[in-house]
Chain A
Amino acid sequence: MANNADKDTILCRCEDITREMILECIAEGYQTIDEIKRVTRAGMGPCQGRTCRLLIAQELSRAYHVPMEEVLMSTFRPPTKPLTMGALADAWLSEYDGDAAISGRAIDGKEGGNGE
């Protein structure tokens, strides 16, 4: 199915995933956007699939002869864009500010049980 041109055609710009790689996934039997995402990372970059999602859906539609209306969409979860762990940690700490027991435990990691 794939040809030379597909090697140079980008579907997911964020993760540099080519049309060839997507068609290979389909040839191996992957049937959904989420499956292809898990094996290639297509849609996991900064834009979170905003560009490639429909392009991959079109490839699936073509390969499996399913109209676009019926191509299964990926699961949408927060956050809509990547954010730092620090931003989440700061939010958590400020929320529990004053509750030394909780924030202390989180910082010490004493509950972590990391095999000491």
Chain B
Amino acid sequence: MIRDVEVLVIGGGPAGLCAAQAAAGAGAHVLILERDDVPGGQLVKQTHKFFGSERQYAGDRGIFIGQMLVEEMTNHPNVEIMTDTTVLGIYEDGVVTALKDEQHLKFRPKKIIVATGAAEKFLTFPNNDLPGIYGAGAVQTLMNVGGVKPADKVIMVGAGNIGLIVSYQMLQAGVDVVCVVEAAPNIGGFLVHASKLRRAGVPICTGWTVKEAYGDGKLEGVVLCRLDEKWQPIEGTEIKVACDTLCLAVGLTPLAELCWQAGCHMEFIRELSGHVPVTDENLMTSVEGIYAAGDVSGIEEASSAMVEGRLAGYAVAVSLGYDVERAQKEVEAARAELVELRSGPMGGKIRAGLAKVAEKRGGASC
């Protein structure tokens, strides 16, 4: 049996929830499919406060923003959330298949909003499979969702926002954070997060990387080394540092496999951290009726993901003829908010990436 769905949102994280909120708010019927057993995406473990403006819930902690959105969507008469449901495929005829409780389900949506988020990148060095080497996301889940102290003595790799925030949260959990290692010459994350770590006495070593890990059956330490300006290891700078955990926060990459499957025009955009679907100003991909919002269309902060979700949700409402006048105004408001969020020096990379996307779109359509 194929179930007809008006708007199918794939992924119940910040982008997906805000997309559902917008589309359902305008009158559309929305089904959210969420892989995890609880909706909320990465918000469920984000105990830090958000930036941005009031409309993006600035000053609130991610976890509370998530709870508020989930509660609102759970109680919304036009919204249904199916958890523990992994989307398996988007087929040429528009049918979407999913797996829930070992059951193979089929849906035929009028519109699809892909909000599948991102996956963590991994690093290659000898013995990178020793137990004790984690992605920062896993450490954050253990700590903030599971209530488990993830390490006694940790080295963090990556001084982007995730690396900085998770390091600070580990300090709060009583973990000895030896140092944060960053291959780039500069700290990538917000300085407000970096400053908190520095005030607590944690060194942030820019221009350093992990050369190898060592240990008998489990991680016992790592060899760090300095990098030259061409990112090559400088011989003779190796130092051995003991630790029981190495936490990798070396970036995210868009989880866009469903867009690939659906035949969307995809491009590798360095500034957006991987292959992304080429979208238009309504966040619609090159495939009619399939939209992409949040990290899946380029890695950014959760605030931008929420606004993108809202944009896509209202754009879908307009295309379905719901509350068109107001929804169209909301689409334009969301676009303006995104411009504001991406202004300033921290948004430079995103702006460059999006300019490339616009260029690719132009090239493809003529």
Which positions in A face B, CB cutoff 8 Å?
Answer: 5-11, 13, 16, 19, 48, 50-52, 54-55, 68-69, 71, 73, 76-81, 83-84, 86-88, 90-91, 94-95
Contacts and interface: CB of A to CB of B under 8 A. Distances in A.
A55 B122 CA distance: 8
For A8, A50, A83, A86, the residue with the greatest tally of chain B CB atoms inside 10 Å of its CB is: A8
Contacts of A54: 121, 253, 274
B98 to A, nearest CB: 9
B122 A80 contact: no
Nearest to A81: B86
Nearest to A59: B124
Interface class of chain B by DSSP: strand
Given A51-B119, A81-B99, A73 B126 contact: no
Interface string B217-258: 000000000000000000000000000000000000101011
Given A5-B126, A9-B126, A84-B102, 12 more contacts: A8-B126, A11-B124, A48-B257, A51-B119, A54-B274, A71-B268, A78-B88, A79-B99, A80-B87, A80-B88, A80-B257, A91-B103
B267 interface: yes
A80 B89 contact: yes
Contacts of A86: 102
B91 interface: yes
Nearest to B2: A95
B1 interface: yes
A94 to B, nearest CB: 7
Given A54-B253, A81-B88, A87 B260 contact: no
B1 A94 contact: yes
Nearest to B213: A8
B23 to A, nearest CB: 24
Interface string B126-152: 111100000000000000000000000
A50 B129 CA distance: 16
A16 B129 CA distance: 9
Given A55-B122, A86-B102, A87-B99, A73 B266 contact: yes
A87 B102 contact: yes
A68 B126 contact: no
Interface string B16-41: 00000000000000000000000000
A50 B128 contact: no
B217 to A, nearest CB: 14
Nearest to B105: A91
A81 B270 CA distance: 26
Contact of A83 (B99, B266, B267): B99
Contact of B261 (A13, A51, A78): A78
Contacts of A78: 88-91, 97, 261
B129 A69 contact: no
Contacts of B120: 51
Nearest to B260: A76
20 contacts: A5-B125, A9-B124, A10-B128, A13-B129, A52-B122, A54-B253, A55-B124, A71-B268, A73-B275, A76-B260, A78-B97, A78-B261, A80-B258, A83-B99, A83-B102, A83-B104, A84-B102, A87-B103, A90-B103, A91-B105
